[in-house]
Amino acid sequence: MDNSYFIYSNDDQNIDIERFHNCTWEFDNNSSLVEFGFEISANSIQNRNNLSLTHILPWCTEKCEVKDLYDGLKDADNSRFIFNDTVSGTDSLNDRSSNLGVIYKFNGRNVLCILPVTLDKTVSGRIKIDVNLSNYNNYNTTPKPNIYFRFYVKPKMPFISTRKNGIAKSTIIYDIKINERRNIPHDILNELTSKDFCRVKHCFCFNILPNSYEIVFFDNTSLKNVRNLEFNSFNRYLGDTRIKKDELIVVFNKKEN
């Protein structure tokens, strides 16, 4: 599986991704799901009414389902769980509803603005992400908070990982590469050579898979923890019937820069 991802701004402006969340799900029924979360630095979007990014995923086709996860994240209980912090205060970008964006104040981290996005995947291998910033800009606060959005992609293949079958056991390999120029495919080399890829300050990788596997690490310098999946919280957040109680584990890795 080619898991070389590329993220760039469509107007060639420098964009800093403070935190990039990559959450892969692989289920017992040979199906998968991938969530992507972007926390964009407020300094990167000053004086903008719109943010437009392209996210290149080599395995993504026009038939893959994509969905913005804003409706789940505007629920403070879900965001408390996703960001692993207590939500101490909530505000809306629109006094009448929370449909245009919400502001969360946390106990242990900076204020964050959660926004809905528009997704377009009319070109194979690419997802265009458009974020309307007008309501965010009209929110009267100083300093401006970072923004965050999250969406999922349902691949048409059973696995995102690389599977190597052996006589005694099979091996699952996760090897995700982000904005590495040496991994640009030859057929899009000319297109991407001149692009300024987004800078990713912190990358969080959550690999969720059935708990029937033995976990072995060739390089555990980025490993943070391995734990059982929090079934009730994830089930409430995603509402995916493939999530079964006591059947999945989470392998969490983190790298900087």
Domain that holds residue 201: 4-256
Tell how strand 146-154 and strand 65-68 pair up. antiparallel
Predicted confidence (pLDDT) at residue 211 exceeds the cutoff of 90: no
Summarised one tens digit per residue, pLDDT across range 23-54 is 999 998 889 999 999 999 999 999 899 999 99
> In the chain, helix, strand, coil percent, each to 5?
15, 45, 40
How many separate domains does the chain show?
Answer: 1
Q: Which of 61-65, 91-95, 213-217 has the highest average model confidence (pLDDT)?
A: 61-65
For residue 59, what pLDDT is reported?
92
**pTM value surpassing 0.95:** no
As a whole number, mean pLDDT of residues 68-79 equals: 95
Q: What percent of the chain has pLDDT over 70?
A: 98
Predicted confidence (pLDDT) at residue 95 exceeds the cutoff of 70: no
Q: Please, what is the average pLDDT of the chain?
A: 91
C-alpha 93/C-alpha 101 separation (Å) is 5
CATH of the domain at 37: 2.60.40
